[in-house]
Structure 1
């Protein structure tokens, strides 16, 4: 049986309609749920770390106001000091009433005790250093989906290779968006403003 041009055209239209319907279902129903479920898994965990202000850093620390979490280490040659400098400019732009709560979590607990971290972050407004036992830091790395690896150097010393994103969390402690290393300033401020607006 040969199909007429009319039947072929109808078949093509049905195909286009089904593709459009599938895309609509993905864009409006499936993708937002998928993205939300992923966001819900970043941050929660049973880690319990110490902060440079004398408190504890747990999953509950992310609630109560917008915050940012950055993983790094005090012997970091470039990425960490640069990012702390960027954070300081964000805080200056936000002003005293809108400052983010920022947590700088070490990926190198062997060298970064609380006193070392306190000195390291002291110049960056609103930034608390976070450290703990290697076991608790490892729990936090898993909870925040952070990559970190010790890299031996030729002289017997070592450095750390690690994720360089700053993670933004809304006032409910839900992951909002990442900020890339040295991401465009205006784009970053737009993300923060959208997060604060809820």
Structure 2
């Protein structure tokens, strides 16, 4: 029953556009342990190279879903995540090398590898950007319980993407551990990383 409760709670949070997580007291087990989040995927990184879940095997991955044309939330969240990782790098440099931040686009029509390369370069040198076909993005979004929807197209062809605001910390085995407070302070994110990265 506890596993079902944890899964329900995780999915309800992940499906909210303003989902968040706050640091809490140390737990005996990760809050997302046993949740059905994550799985195989086949995408393309910012250098045009194939990337799958095996690309990140053996490392902790911060999985964030957004889009580069986002006017506010995504850049702010990525700045927070990058700053949180830098804070963790200063306090625990050896552990921090085990963490890779990942930005998965939910707007593959505009987020080509070249666009992603410019975007991720603004935040952290180890940040990986991922894009792919509509089908591939839909598949990974479903695997990670991420909601996204294209908004109305304006006369000039522009549009917004509505999407979940969530950052998962995944284990080296690709299992979900916790939600990171991407809207929080760098210290809050670093504290959460310190709690689970071993």
Q: Same fold (TM over 0.5)?
A: yes
How do residues 108-147 of structure 1 correspond to structure 2 at under 5 angstroms?
108-125=107-124, 126-147=126-147
Which protein has greater RCO, CA pairs closer than 8 Å, 6+ apart? Answer: 2
**Structure that is richer in helix per residue:** 1
Contact 1:51 1:131 in 2 (8 A): yes
Structure 1, gaps ≥5 residues long: 1-29
Structure 2, gaps ≥5 residues long: 8-31
Match of 1:152 in 2: 152
2:37 to 33, 37, 42: 42
Contact 1:167 1:177 in 2 (8 A): yes
Match of 2:106 in 1: 107
TM-score (norm 2): 0.75
Give the paired residue count: 167
Alignment of 1:81 with 2:75, yes or no, is: yes
Query: In the TM superposition, what is the alpha-carbon distance from 1:195 to its structure 2 partner?
Result: 1.3
Query: In the TM superposition, what is the alpha-carbon distance from 1:52 to its structure 2 partner?
Result: 1.6
Match of 1:26 in 2: none
Alignment of 1:65 with 2:59, yes or no, is: yes
TM-score (norm 1): 0.75
Q: In the aligned structure 2, how far is the partner of 1:35 from the partner of 1:65?
A: 24
Q: In the aligned structure 1, how far is the partner of 2:39 from the partner of 2:65?
A: 16
Query: In the TM superposition, what is the alpha-carbon distance from 1:38 to its structure 2 partner?
Result: 6.9
Query: In the TM superposition, what is the alpha-carbon distance from 1:154 to its structure 2 partner?
Result: 3.8
